[in-house]
Structure 1
Amino acid sequence: MRILHVNKFLYRRGGAETYMLDLADLQEARGDQVAFFSMRHPDNVETRFAEHFPRYVEMNPLPRGPIGKLRGAGRMLWSRSARRGIAQVIEEFRPDLAHLHNIYHQLSPSVLAALKAAGVPIVMTLHDYKLACPSYSFLDKGKPCTACVGGSLREPVRRRCKGGSLSASMAVAVETWIHRRFDAYGPVHRFICPSKFMAGQLTEARIFPDRLRVLDHFADSLGMEPKSEPGGPLVCVGRLSPEKGIDVAIRAVGMLRGKAQLVIAGDGPEWVALERLADEVAPGRVHFTGKLDRVRVLELIRSATALVVPSRWYENQPMTILEAFACGVPVIGTAMGGIPELVVDGATGRLVPPDDPLMLSSAALALLRNPDASLAMGKAGREVAVRRFSPEGHLNGLREIYGEAIKAAHPT
């Protein structure tokens, strides 16, 4: 099968890009032919058809100045350069199916129009809540919010939930309204939700409920050496931004006192503030590594007593949890979004309330004091990873969804 993967970034920027690139490797190993369409970026992996990619533009925040903002808003709604570029790739690669990931803003649904015109079946993995929440994250000023699920698109403007900015909130609300009004995502034949929570929210929001399919991501457990010795620090991996709740983990470690250590891998806008907080509440016991490559991230996770996922937003299906299980490491996570679908409290880790450093510290202390119990939980998590999150199982499930999309695109 000839598969065209479409995503606005083509380097390991986050979970969506990591999933797409790892999936493409699996598909090529199975014998599929894979190509990519993205926008230009100096960090992109080398690939065919890069000359057809639209130019790079930053959308968070929007370009400066009235003209820049106008151009940025126009590209959010409809990118003529993206449509021209993908049409050229379709002509040269002739895909049997297109698998889309994050196309919002920089590529826009214009790529869907080109795929539809060429009769290409389309599958889209939803890595965030953009189709139901104009600001992606179900957050309003740092607090969980699903007002747009059952309400109107006036809510983002009224609440200024896009960074507290009226203009930015209005821009994403108008973008969503126009795309819904003109059925911009109508050409997608199947939408993949990595969590039941996401599928439930989209169903409630009446976002193509008959086309939603739930399919777990994957982790290559057999390709990862499991943890064999008990003990180690607590570890957080991810973007250092408010919704990730890293501050809660730092405060929890501060409450533990003693020799408890927290290692934080990643970077982001909260780094300086988090360092100040660590110096204040847990001096000398919180260590920031910055962004690490995947090999070093897995080594860090494998060294841990537990991976800590203290998010205060509705996580979908964090790849770090799957990787922790594959490494034989338990997870302490907040009972929000898709996390409870992964972590079984008391069996493969612990579930705690969001924004509650006391409960997080209590859960961490229990594992730190009993490293053998932590190691046993990690082994249970690895068994789950081998059984539920295998690459082969994911590819088989994906093939079924691809088949549905092809039948929907070309009914006999």
Structure 2
Amino acid sequence: MRVLHVNKFLYRRGGAEAYMLDLADLQVERGSEVAFFAMAHPDNIPSRYEEHFPRNLELNPPPRGPIARAKSVGRMLWSTSARRGIARVIEDFKPDVAHLHNIYHQLSPSVLSALSNAGVPVVMTLHDCKLVCPSYSFLDHGNVCTACVGGSLREAVRRRCKDDSLGASAVLATETWLHRRFRAYDAVNVFISPSRFLAGQLTRADVYPDRLRILDNFTDPTSVPPKSEPGGPLVCVGRLHEGKGIDTAIRAMGLLGADARLVIAGDGPERETLERMAADVAPGRVSFLGQRSRQEVLELFRSATALLVPSRWHENQPMTVIEAFSCGVPVIGTALGGMGELIIDGATGRLIPPGEPMELASAALALLRDPEGSLAMGKSARRMAMARFSSEGHLSALGELYAEARRARAKSGTSHQRDEEQR
């Protein structure tokens, strides 16, 4: 089978990219041929089709000047360069199925137009809540918000939920409205939600509920040596962004004893602010490693007492949690979004309220004081990962969804041909 993976980034930037690249490797191992389409970027892995990628567009921070901003907004709505580029890839690669991931902004739904015209079946994994939340985050000035799910997209503008900016919020709301108005995602035959939580929000918003399927992300616990020695630091892994709540973890460190250590792997716009906070509230006890390879992250997990995921937004199904479980490490995470579907409180980790450093410190202290108990909790987490998140099970279920997409595409093609004949 020839699978075309489509995502705006082609390097290990976050959970979506980690999933896509690991899945592609697995598919190649099982005999499939894989190709990628993405935005040009200096960190991209080599690709046979990179000459057809649309140019790099940096949106954080946004482009300066009215002309540059206007061009970036236009590309968010519809990218002619992305459509033209993927059409050339389709012509040469001739995919049996296209598997889309995060295409918003830099690629836009324009790629779907080319896939539809070529009759390519399309599956799309929803790694975040963009289709029901214009700003991606389910956040309104740091507070959880789902106003746009059951209400009007005008809420995003009224609340200025994107960086407290009326203009930025209006652009994102307009983007979502236009894509819905012109049914830009109609070419997707099957939508995949990793969590029941996100699937529920999409169903509530009436976003293609008939095409929505739930499928867990995956890992390969059998290829990862589990943690075997008790003890170690607390760790956080991920993009250093407001929604991830890393500041809560740092403040919790200030409430713990002098022997407690926190190691943070990842980078992002909040790094300098977080480093200053750490120097102030927990001097010498918080380490920032920056971006690390997957292997380095797995080694970090195995050295840890627990992974902290103190998110203040609704998480979908974080790959970091699944990978920590596969390493035999418990997770302390907030009871938001899909986290409660992963963490069994008291068995594979602890669930805590968001934005509460004292609650996080209390949960962490209990594990730090009982390293053997923490190790036992991690073993339970690994058993769960082995049973629920195996790569073989995921690949088998995904193959069935690919087949469903092909049947749906064939049916829609037949209906279109019949309509043309009747005219």
Give the TM interval when normalised to the shorter protein. over 0.9
1:395 aligned partner? 395
Identity among equivalent positions (%) equals 69
1:152 aligned partner? 152
1:257 aligned partner? 257
The Cα shift of 1:143 comes to 1.1
Residue correspondence of structure 1 range 305-384 to structure 2 within 5 A: 305-384=305-384
Q: Equivalents in 1 of 2:399, 2:116: separation in Å?
A: 20
2:220 aligned partner? 220
Question: Residue type of the partner of 2:234?
Answer: L
Question: Residue type of the partner of 1:280?
Answer: D
The Cα shift of 1:280 comes to 2.1
1:386 aligned partner? 386
1:41 aligned partner? 41
2:302 aligned partner? 302
Q: Equivalents in 2 of 1:279, 1:45: separation in Å?
A: 35
Q: In structure 2, the residue corresponding to 1:255 is in which secondary structure?
A: coil
Q: In structure 2, the residue corresponding to 1:410 is in which secondary structure?
A: helix
Question: Residue type of the partner of 1:253?
Answer: M
2:419 aligned partner? none
2:418 aligned partner? none
- Tell whether 2:79 aligns with 1:70: no
Q: In structure 2, the residue corresponding to 1:183 is in which secondary structure?
A: coil
Residue correspondence of structure 1 range 4-23 to structure 2 within 5 A: 4-23=4-23
Q: Equivalents in 2 of 1:323, 1:177: separation in Å?
A: 36
Judged with a 3 Å threshold, the aligned counterparts in structure 2 of structure 1 residues 368 and 336 are, in CA distance, closer, same or farther, namely same
1:138 aligned partner? 138
Residue correspondence of structure 1 range 42-191 to structure 2 within 5 A: 42-191=42-191
Check whether the contact 1:36–1:47 (CA below 8 A) recurs between aligned residues. yes
Q: Equivalents in 2 of 1:406, 1:53: separation in Å?
A: 26
Check whether the contact 1:149–1:205 (CA below 8 A) recurs between aligned residues. yes
Q: Equivalents in 1 of 2:199, 2:339: separation in Å?
A: 14
What are the Cα deviations for residues 344-388 of structure 1, in whole angstroms up to 9, with x where unaligned? 001001111111111111111111111111000100010011110
The Cα shift of 1:22 comes to 0.6
Check whether the contact 1:236–1:307 (CA below 8 A) recurs between aligned residues. yes
The Cα shift of 1:121 comes to 0.4
Q: Which ranges in structure 1 are unaligned for 5 or more consecutive residues?
A: none
Q: Hey, which bits of structure 1, 4+ residues long, moved more than 4 A?
A: none
Q: Equivalents in 2 of 1:111, 1:62: separation in Å?
A: 23
The Cα shift of 1:162 comes to 1.0
Moved more, 324-333 or 237-246: 237-246
2:30 aligned partner? 30
2:206 aligned partner? 206
2:237 aligned partner? 237
Q: Equivalents in 2 of 1:167, 1:379: separation in Å?
A: 49
The Cα shift of 1:11 comes to 0.8
Question: Residue type of the partner of 1:271?
Answer: R
Question: Residue type of the partner of 2:333?
Answer: G
The Cα shift of 1:337 comes to 0.6
> What RMSD in Å do the two structures reach over aligned CA positions?
1.0
Return the TM-score normalized by structure 2: 0.96
What are the Cα deviations for residues 150-186 of structure 1, in whole angstroms up to 9, with x where unaligned? 1111111111111111111111111111111100001
Q: Equivalents in 2 of 1:97, 1:203: separation in Å?
A: 25
Q: In structure 1, the residue corresponding to 2:236 is in which secondary structure?
A: strand
Q: Equivalents in 1 of 2:46, 2:273: separation in Å?
A: 36
Q: Equivalents in 1 of 2:213, 2:394: separation in Å?
A: 13
What are the Cα deviations for residues 98-156 of structure 1, in whole angstroms up to 9, with x where unaligned? 00001111111110011000110000001111100111111111111100001111111
2:420 aligned partner? none
Q: Equivalents in 1 of 2:319, 2:395: separation in Å?
A: 16
The Cα shift of 1:28 comes to 0.6
Q: In structure 1, the residue corresponding to 2:255 is in which secondary structure?
A: helix
The Cα shift of 1:319 comes to 0.6
Check whether the contact 1:257–1:282 (CA below 8 A) recurs between aligned residues. no
What are the Cα deviations for residues 316-343 of structure 1, in whole angstroms up to 9, with x where unaligned? 1111101100100000001111111000
- State how many pairs are aligned: 412
The Cα shift of 1:269 comes to 1.8
The Cα shift of 1:404 comes to 0.9
Q: Equivalents in 1 of 2:118, 2:271: separation in Å?
A: 46
The Cα shift of 1:39 comes to 1.4
What are the Cα deviations for residues 31-78 of structure 1, in whole angstroms up to 9, with x where unaligned? 111111111111111111111111111123332111111111110111
The Cα shift of 1:254 comes to 1.3
Q: Equivalents in 2 of 1:192, 1:314: separation in Å?
A: 17
Q: Equivalents in 2 of 1:171, 1:149: separation in Å?
A: 18
Q: Equivalents in 2 of 1:384, 1:78: separation in Å?
A: 42
Q: Equivalents in 2 of 1:230, 1:362: separation in Å?
A: 19
Question: Residue type of the partner of 1:5?
Answer: H
Q: Equivalents in 1 of 2:76, 2:327: separation in Å?
A: 39
Q: Equivalents in 2 of 1:116, 1:272: separation in Å?
A: 44
Q: In structure 2, the residue corresponding to 1:4 is in which secondary structure?
A: strand
2:286 aligned partner? 286
Return the TM-score normalized by structure 1: 0.98
Q: Equivalents in 2 of 1:230, 1:152: separation in Å?
A: 50
2:197 aligned partner? 197
Q: In structure 2, the residue corresponding to 1:333 is in which secondary structure?
A: strand
Question: Residue type of the partner of 1:174?
Answer: T
The Cα shift of 1:279 comes to 2.1
Q: Equivalents in 2 of 1:190, 1:288: separation in Å?
A: 39
